[in-house]
Amino acid sequence: MTAMKAININTQTDYHKYDKWFTIAKVLLTLAPFIALIYMQAFIGGSNLSELLQQNPEITLTFLVSMAGPFTAYLLIFAQKHLYEEDVPYMMAHLALLFAVELLLRNGVYALLMGCLMFLVYRMTGMSPLEALRLKWKDHFFRDLSGCIVLMVFAMFCLFVSLRLGM
């Protein structure tokens, strides 16, 4: 009985091994809109920001894309809680879909970050993203991954708009 408890404690400790990387990702994702606002303020100089957002669709789209960051951080927090409860397919499926979302949004830094997090979870658990998606497809895919799906629809819309604008 004690050996089983020791195994569970070691497994749970392993899940907390890379917490600092998840924290860095969540902080960067949460700060994305503020960084975008600072960048836009520097870009416009002394002009009115709301006026610029109304007149320049590229700046508006950049701001909208940055607003996806906090929601992505929220989904990452939620998925990380499932990882601690040893629901590895849930976590890996979320990371795979969030990686795809960041690619659609053309956020190279955040896509790289999600890829690194996927690699870390793969190292901890040995579960590949495709295997996790296959397992979740059989077990409440839309219910468990609805937040990622909504974010993916938003990302596809942003990609469509950016392609129409020639960005």
Q: What is the pLDDT along the chain (167 residues), one digit of tens a residue?
A: 434 333 343 444 466 777 888 899 999 999 999 988 888 888 777 677 777 777 888 888 888 999 999 999 999 998 888 888 888 888 899 999 999 999 999 999 999 999 999 999 898 888 888 888 888 888 777 777 888 999 999 999 999 999 998 87
DSSP 45: T
Q: How far apart are CA 49 and CA 35, in angstroms?
A: 14
* Side chain identity at residue 28, one-letter code: L
The single-letter code of the amino acid at 87 is D
Please tell me the pTM assigned to this model.
0.81
* Angle 81-22-68 from CA coordinates, rounded to 5°: 90
Distances (CA, A) of 65 to 23, 98, 111: 21, 14, 13
